[in-house]
Structure 1
Amino acid sequence: MDPMTDVAQSFAATFVDELAAQGVEFACVSPGSRSAPIAMALQRHPRIKVIVHIDERCGSFFAVGLGKSTGKPAVVLSTSGTAAAEFHPAVVEAAYSRTPLIVITADRPPELQGVGANQAIDQQHLFGTAVRWFVDPGVPVEMPNAARVWRRLAARAVAEAASGPVHLNLPFREPLVPPPGQVPVAEAAPAQALTNGRLLPSQAQLASLASALQRAARPLVVVGEIRDGERLAPALHRLGVPLIAEPTSQLRRAEAGAAVESYEALLRAGWSLQHGPDLVVRLGATPTSRVLNRWLAAAAAPTFLIDPDHSWRDQDHVATNVMACDPQPLLEALPPLDRSAWRDQWVSAGKRATAAIAATLVSTPLHEGHVVRALSSRLPDPGQVFIGSSMPIRAADSFWPLARPQQRFFGNRGASGIDGLVSSGLGVATGRDTVPTVLLLGDLSLYHDMNGLWALQRHGIKATLVVCDNNGGGIFNFLPQAEHQDVFEEIFATPLGLDLSQVARLYGLVYSPVSDRSGLEPAIADAIAAPTPTMVVVRFKREDSVNGHRLIWEATASALKG
């Protein structure tokens, strides 16, 4: 160790250098004093891109978006105190969506804990069970093989963060910065090689599922969110079983074989009551659609839940077989099935439903369905959409047609909150910055994370925002709460009453308002092609959304009876 370099500075330079060596490419940093050693090392490292966020909540959700789009953990760094606590919502989302994330909170040293020192709170296990791994290595000190210990700490953080968040609490004593002109140098140590493999299926697992499929006359595959789900498409195509896949599965596309269009309409129309499965294979997260989940629970068919993370994503307690393994080699090893008549019934019905929806949208009041269809027709290939929680994700599930080969879909479906959606979407855009990115959000979600818009101009991010502005929480109009009119508007609908053109102006976005069906597609197409980030705001009434959905389901039911 250089005798002229403070041990804390040497630790920070060495630790950050190993993060980069292990593949970390991005760090979201919020300003603060106690975190200075790590912040300066990150900023000076040539292989790590630092993205500064004033608001720690925005920074942490941005890092979640980076993790979802790249598959690698981004670092999020804060000073001590309440700044560290601001990370908690994003940590929860990362935990439940299995998103890689490295959380680093700077801290006061032990002698400043519990004595009323400024900005000193108890940060031990601050995020509880939401993190895969927690460590507080103590204040950096000189020791034999220090470089090896420090590098091993960084390498383990990257390895532990492969499928969820980790938390490193790093206390530092003053001085927190080196003398002017002195740049700490990372200490060398033998390389740390760490790899992660996939959990292969056993012969018993393969035999069990293959036997069940051979016996089934009406098998069905249901897929929730899987960020790399497209890798399963060839095996599912070969299997030839009807496939119910939401957009964020990356499998609602022709390449997956028998993907069923507009399945929400089939379920609501009652068609599915005469076409129940006698076997269900579940992949990915729990489906978004409440109607689908209820239908599957009522069908009570034998259900194989395949999950490589040993998780029980089975809210209705219908899984009869839970298989902890990677689904790709399992599906690839299955023999193809000849269930063409059953498959064709579902695929044909989905196409009829899609046609009925398209015909009905021509005459119904403007609502989320129009927005989704317009965006689907104008999204480039390749292109990607970050879909907000609440109504947007449900509208996409109901109305997005088969996607094109290189289109991808993301969302915060781990905890399904409306917080941090702007920031996560911009993190996705930054992680895959060669691909056109659209954020599809509701007006409440936009408002909740309005601070996240600051990153667009600050960091030169190119993204398009499409906002469904129904002046409030439109999803509640579909729920029983809407029947309590005396309290509904104030505590559930919560109308914002904001002029979103002023929001666009504040953050330097082009504002593009839309209030009729004919203007939707041109506005979205122009926004995606524009060199400047654009906010397309689609105004409609919540009541029109409820009526529009009702008319669509009625028209679909009639078409399926004909």
Structure 2
Amino acid sequence: MQDTLAAYGGAFVDELVHSGITHVVISPGSRSTPLALLMSAHPSLNVWMHIDERSAGFFALGIAKAKNEAVALLCTSGTAAANYYPAVIEAHYDRVPLLVITADRPHELRDVGAPQAIHQVDLFGKYPKWFADMSLPEESSHMIIYARKMAARAAAATLTAPAGPVHLNFPFREPLIPNLALPSLWENGRQKRQQYTTVLEGKNSLSNYQFDQLMKEINGKCGLIVCGPDYNNQYIQAVTALSETLKFPILADPLSQLRSGSHDKRWVIESYDAFLKEETVSTTLKPEVIIRFGAMPVSKAFLLYIKKHPACRQIIVDEGKGWREPTLLASEMIYTNPETFCEGLIESIHKNENGQAQSTNWGQQWLSINEKAKEVLELKSETNLFFEGQVFPELTKLLPPNSTLFVGNSMPVRDLDTFFLTNELNVRTMANRGANGIDGIISSALGASTNGEPLVLVIGDLSFYHDLNGLLAAKLHELTITIIVLNNDGGGIFSFLPQSKESEHFEKLFGTPIGLDFEHTVTMYNGNFTRVSSWEDFRSVVKESLSGKGLNVIEVPTDRNDNAVKHHEIWEAVKKAAKSTLLGAENS
């Protein structure tokens, strides 16, 4: 039996590595022993141990997101597997390639009251792209080929557009210890293969005729390019070139990777969330065509802007053949590679007689309003009070080039949208925007930190509390991360919502102050904790943290009510400036 486990399981693990999987996150357990030992023994596989499966799932998700590659997860049977569920949901909606591997009881021990035996077939419902209940280990040549084929198919399925989670369920009978000394188990760092499969995926593209027709219909229109959250920056040069060719402004989501870097940012509009809140501006700037790449932007003001102009032609470009279109107003869904789409449309324009798009005053209006809005944002965000939005202008001055800036949901990602303006730093921005949840943020950021770049996480106190177990990874694996906790003692985002008017029940149901001193927890995980009392303090501590190693947590204490008032003050100032700029341009 030990030889059977080694041959079957070893073939599977080795084929995973051959298929491009080099990282696996393992949580300890008995039933998963065969694969855990074989994964640990493979010389080309990086093993990350994480005791809490819930945090482990998000940790693997962070690695996959940062490295743009599939990552495997392994746990034992029972509710251990169920704890992966939130991360599987996030991977599904955020299109992150995760290969979830769960150990299970053999079929004769299912539904008979055996311990740690829950119903694991299709455990994660519709969220995985593919599920397979693996066969029991056998040593025949046919079953060794089967193990390899399933590994190759699963690894490819996670990455094939749209990327996402895949679930393989492995039943094992006892004994569970494979023979790691099996002759020729690893041959030159790789198990001797009998057969394997390579999966290749090409780029979809429109025909030349389709590009020409589209070009004729949108050339010279009042158009916008919208770039939503995207962690792969391969199409940045192509989309900025398309913008320059069409003279279409780019509304760049803070997670689009278009706000920071050395690429051409002339047409990048980053303060649209602030100035589209102004009624006159959002009504007057009437688009005729919108081309959108990536997921729906964070900005609610943009969503309302689209709904205000239902006659606008909306073209959604989606390589993954999904339907990320919550407005219900899209005119076309174009399933093609974004880079290929941009290049094809540019080529079509260049084939025209004049070789360029027809000129309009449309783009200049957006550029002028954006510049004025940025001036107001930069001026108004500077304050001696601890205003949460100021964290991002401060970090823009402090972060070294090529850093990663991970943000939590609720207010941090919205403040990133408002206050993270264009720069040359090449800062990579990340968040878990698939399901927009506040769970697993610490773990995802720590997973992303394994990519080797300086990483800063900005997170609210409730999100920090939700994933305190995730801090163990920093201690176990000696990871380096700077975590900035915006501590307003509760759910700050609710101060901006209608619930805030229900004063009698607000604090109990929505404000939910927890009154925790996080210093004790951070110390428990061998981290450094600092509670700052001024922006000068903040700058000094962040600089020290970025030049050091290990876990560093910086708490910024803020007041929820003051924070809401300051936000509204800034938005009103931006709206006033934007309206004045628009009307001034129209009257000139």
Q: How high is the TM-score relative to the length of structure 1? A: 0.95
Q: Among residues 511, 524, 544, which one is paired with 2:562 in the alignment?
A: 544
**Among 374, 378, 383, the residue aligned to 1:358:** 378
- Give the CA deviation at 1:145: 2.8
Of stretches 456-465 and 168-177 in structure 1, the one that deviates more from structure 2 is 456-465
Verify: 1:190 aligned to 2:192, yes or no.
no
Match of 2:255 in 1: 248
Match for residue 170 of structure 1? Answer: 170
Distance change (3 Å), C-alpha of 1:469 and 1:204:
farther
Paired with 1:395 and 1:15, the residues of 2 have a C-alpha distance of 45
**Residue 495 of structure 2: aligned partner:** 477
Which runs of 5 or more residues in structure 1 are unaligned? none
RMSD between superposed Cα atoms in Å: 1.9
CA distance in 2, matches of 1:476, 1:37: 48
Q: CA deviation at 1:517?
A: 3.2
CA distance in 2, matches of 1:504, 1:510: 7
Q: Which amino acid aligns with 2:235?
A: R
Give the paired residue count.
Answer: 556
Q: How does 1:429-444 map to 2 (within 5 A)?
A: 429-430=449-450, 432-433=451-452, 435-444=453-462
1:288 maps to a residue whose letter is: V
1:23 maps onto 2:20 in alignment? yes
Contact 1:303–1:319 (CA under 8 A) maintained in structure 2: yes
Q: Answer with 260-269 or 77-86: which moved more.
A: 260-269
| Deviation, structure 1 residue 405 | 5.4
In the alignment, is the contact (CA less than 8 A) between 1:374 and 1:524 conserved in 2?
no
How big is the shift at 1:152?
A: 1.0
1:404 and 2:424 aligned = yes
Residues 1:275 and 2:285 aligned together? yes
2:352 aligned partner: none
Q: Does 1:161 align with 2:158?
A: yes
Residue deviations 1:385-436 (CA, integer Å, cap 9, x gap): 1111111111101110114353211111111111111111111111x11x11
**Which stretch shows the higher mean deviation, 252-261 or 351-360?**
252-261
**Helix, strand or coil for the counterpart of 1:277?**
coil
Q: Which residue of 2 aligns with 1:315?
A: 326
Confirm or deny that 1:55 pairs with 2:52.
yes
Q: Which secondary structure does the structure 1 equivalent of 2:276 belong to?
A: helix
Which moved further from structure 2: 6-15 or 453-462?
6-15
1:201 has 2:200 as partner: no
| Correspondence for 1:534 | 552
Which residue matches 2:353? none
Tell me how far apart the structure 1 counterparts of residues 206 and 482 of structure 2 sit (CA, whole Å). 41
**Are positions 1:143 and 2:140 aligned together?**
yes
Q: 1:227 aligns with which of 231, 236, 240?
A: 231
CA deviation after TM superposition for structure 1 residue 512, in Å: 2.1
- When residues 184 and 138 of structure 1 are mapped into structure 2, their CA distance, relative to the original with a 3 A threshold, is farther
- Specify whether residues 230 and 269 from structure 1 end up closer, same or farther in structure 2 by C-alpha distance, changes over 3 A only: farther
Quick one: which of 489, 492, 506 aligns to 2:510?
A: 492
Q: Structure 1 residue 516: deviation in Å?
A: 2.9
How far 1:319 moved relative to its partner? Answer: 0.6
For 1:259, the equivalent position in structure 2 comes to 268
1:503 aligns with 2:521: yes
Structure 1 residue runs of 4+, over 4 Å off?
A: 179-184
Q: TM-score, structure 2 length as denominator?
A: 0.91
How far off its partner does 1:123 sit? 0.4
1:66-465 equivalences under 5 Å are 66-162=63-159, 163-178=163-178, 185=185, 186-216=191-221, 218-237=222-241, 238-239=244-245, 240-253=247-260, 255-270=264-279, 271-300=281-310, 301-334=312-345, 335=349, 336-339=356-359, 341-363=361-383, 365-404=385-424, 406-430=426-450, 432-433=451-452, 435-465=453-483
1:408/1:164 CA distance change after superposition, 3 Å: same
Shift of 1:215: 4.6
Distance 1:458 1:102 in 2: 23
- Structure 2: which 5+ residue stretches go unaligned? 186-190, 350-355, 582-588
Which segment drifts farther, 367-376 or 450-459?
367-376
How far, CA to CA, are the matches of 1:308 and 1:181 in structure 2?
45
Distance 1:178 1:323, change over 3 A: closer
Flag the 1:405–1:230 CA change in 2: closer, same or farther, 3 A: farther
C-alpha deviation, 1:183, in angstroms: 8.2
Question: Is this contact kept in 1: 2:384–2:535, CA < 8 A?
Answer: no
Secondary structure of the structure 2 residue equivalent to 1:229: coil
Q: Give the share of equivalent positions with the same residue, in percent.
A: 36
Change (3 A) 1:383 1:203: same
Contact 2:454–2:546 (Cα < 8 Å) also in 1: yes
Quote how far apart the aligned CAs of 1:14 are: 1.3
